[in-house]
Each structure stands twice: as structure tokens, then as C-alpha cells.
Copies of this chain bind each other. A is one copy, B any other.
Amino acid sequence: MAGNSYGTLYKITTFGESHGEALGGIIDGCPPGIELDFDAIRREMQRRKPGQSAIVTQRKENDQVQFLSGIFEGKTTGTPIGFIIPNTDQKSHDYSHIKDQYRPSHADYVYEKKYGLRDYRGGGRSSARETASRVVAGAIAKQFLKDVKINAFVSSVGDIFIDKPYQALDFSKIESNDVRCPDTATAEKMEAYIKEIRKQGDSVGGTVTCVIQNVPIGLGEPVFDKLHAELGKAMLSINAVKGFEYGSGFCGAKMKGSEHNDLYNPDGTTKSNLSGGIQGGISNGMDIYFRVAFKPVATIIQKQEALDNQGNIVEMQGKGRHDPCVVPRAVPIVEAMAAIVLADFYLIDKTYNK
């Protein structure tokens, strides 16, 4: 089954295993004439990259994107943009011990059942390394979207969370700390906690909040392809994600209609924005905001039980260089997927008879 594409008009197709020769992808449908800022693309790649700070995996990946087509004299040509990201630091021997073993809460077991065989090196296709290609496509989508501002940040790690509405936060501080939490005091607590978790050889989950501003009215299709339904699918397609809510989210399920309804101002904006910038699946011009839940990464550096392919429960100890907490590096991936979804709906919107 061909299932490695996302989007209808702005479409990304990705390939690549964590320990093959290269990852890469094709961005198909990017409009012509966009002058690309390659530094901006590199910056996004840098944000996703392992080894960028003390609280993420120390695995070194070079993550150099090579563009092979679709760009001429610095501008997109409207033809497909092919790119590769060579794998350079692939210590395959780190993984030989799991060849015949299925790690708990990993995809090892289901891959083998589904395909009849698997590339066991580093998780193969199920590795989070695949998201590098998404970040490339997202970085270009952001440039296409220009005035739309997409800011994601870490809103909780374990039990530690920001207790302010996003309107009270200064997004320019997101990159000022390793956690990517714009609330400095909370960021410090999160960082200390992640370091402690790493010392324990354990991992911890967290949430990422994303705020999208300056979205034109009218994006999203009203029935199955609601704007928030696509954003939800895009987020749930990121490794380790367990939940998605937008606007009032799960809290909204406890409220009354008389409290929840967003009353209008005369200019069509709303006084409150519990709708989260989307009504009936269509953007209404207000800020779109949503929250994404990430489970703790399954790989831990403690002894654990695993299953081998003979049906024996065996003891295994995590090796390799893994993330104690995935959310800081998930921030640019959340933004990338949001940008891809919006670029797609933006192109779809042009087909309406305006």
C-alpha cells in the first residue's frame, strides 16, 4: 500500500530508514516562483537535530539536505522538489542485539507481523529520523505561507506545565532555552527534571502547544476534511503522539453552551476564542491553537523484559543514545506538519471561484 504521502495539492512523500543510505522525499505541488531562504531551512533542520543540547540524545546526525530538483536560480519552478538527507552516523552495530528481539512498546513486533520481515537497524522506517524529511517540507511550506505565523512550544513535561494562557507568553523566548518553553521559570524546572530522568536511564512524556496566527478566513473543507481533522491526523502521524485537542479541547466537553459559545464583535472576530480559530471545520480568522500529547519514548536505559522471536521473555538493556524526553525536538516537527496542512488548504482555497 502506498501510504507514505501527505497532502492533496501540496504533497510530501518521504522515504528512508534510519540506518539506510539516506532519507529523503519529494515535495510535489509547491507553487512556482517562491524565492527560497536556504538558511531558514537549515535552521529548522538544526532545531530538529539530535545532539543540539544537553537534554536530548547525543547521537550526531549531520542532517545536510541536498536539493536535487524543482529549484532553479534560487526559486521554486513548480516542478517536484526532490531532496535527500544522507545518513552519516549510523552505528548499525548498536542494534544487532535487537535483531531477534521485540522491544516493549516499539514497532518491532507489529512490523514483523505485518511485513513478514523488517529492517531491524534502529527502528528502520518507524524511526523518528523519518521526520527530518517532514521538517524540510514544512520549512518550504512556511516560506510559501509567508504572513502566517506558526509557533509551537513545550507546554508540559511530566507533571510540570505552563499555567498561563498562550496570550501571556512571549514566543520570542521559545528558542532561548533547551526545552523550548517560552516561560523561563517553567523551562528551568522542566530542564532540571529531564536531566534527572536521564540520570535514572528513564524517559518522560510531555505536551506541545501550537499557535497559528494570521490565517485567512475560509481554509478547511466542511465535512470529512475539516481543518482541525487534518491538523489532528497530521499531529497523530508523528511518532509517540497519543492525543490531540484544539480550542477548548477536552475541557470544552465539561462546559455548557452558554459558557462555550464565542460571541461576535461587529467586525466578525469573536470575544472569546474557545472555538480555537475554527468553526465547522473552517478557519474564522482568529488564532488557531491546539495541544499535542507525547508519550515517554519507549527506549530506556534500564533493564527491561522483551520478547524474542522464539516466544521467550528475555531481559534486555537499552543501549545507544536516546532522548530522555522527546518534546523539545518535537516542536519543529509539530510546526512543520502544521505548515504542510495549511499550505495544502491554502492551495485548495484558491480553487473556489474567487
Report B-chain residues with C-beta under 8 Å of the C-beta of A10. Answer: 2
**Bound form: Cα–Cα A4–B10 in Å:** 12
**Bound form: Cα–Cα A318–B2 in Å:** 42
Within 8 A of B (CB), among A155-208: 156, 158-159, 197, 200, 202-207
B5 lies within 8 A of A224 (CB) = yes
**Bound form: Cα–Cα A294–B299 in Å:** 34
- A289-314 vs B, CB cutoff 8 Å, 1 = contact: the mask equals 00001111111101011110001110
Known: A9-B351, A78-B114, A262-B104. A202 touches B257 (CB 8 A): yes
Known: A221-B1, A258-B302. A117 touches B32 (CB 8 A): yes
- A102-143 vs B, CB cutoff 8 Å, 1 = contact: the mask equals 101111011101111111000011100010000000000000
Report B-chain residues with C-beta under 8 Å of the C-beta of A282. Answer: 107, 110-111, 114
Count A interface residues, CB 8 Å. 150
Report B-chain residues with C-beta under 8 Å of the C-beta of A230. Answer: 233
A224 lies within 8 A of B353 (CB) = no
**Bound form: Cα–Cα A350–B348 in Å:** 9
Give the nearest-CB partner of A70 in chain B.
B15
Could you write out 17 A-B pairs with CB less than 8 Å apart? A1-B351, A3-B28, A3-B29, A5-B224, A14-B26, A14-B223, A21-B68, A22-B69, A109-B264, A126-B281, A156-B253, A202-B258, A225-B237, A242-B276, A245-B250, A257-B299, A268-B307
